[in-house]
Amino acid sequence: MKQPVPDPHDRPTVNVDDIYENKWLPLSRAGLYEQVRNGTIPSIKLGRRVVVPTAQLRKLLGLDDEVA
């Protein structure tokens, strides 16, 4: 079930699987990881995990004008 993109204050980061499963971006899972690798989707690497700042995702989607 598609969930709305969370508020950055409630959930500061999301993982690529969250983006894929909720269809927040119209890309395949492999496509999302490729966009993360090339920097089109801003991300943070935490050990082996890759997370996307929710504020940056919301800005990328045009949901928020400013990024905290």
d(C-alpha 40, C-alpha 9), whole Å: 23
* pTM, entire model: 0.86
Q: Which residues of the chain have pLDDT under 50?
A: none
Amino acid 67: pLDDT: 56
Q: Indicate the average pLDDT of the chain.
A: 92
Task: Report domain extents, the chain.
Answer: 1-49
Cβ atoms within 10 Å of 37's Cβ, excluding its own: 11
Q: Provide the pLDDT for residue 41.
A: 97
* Residue 14 · residue 22 · CB < 8 Å: no
pLDDT of residue 1: 60
pLDDT recorded at residue 51: 97
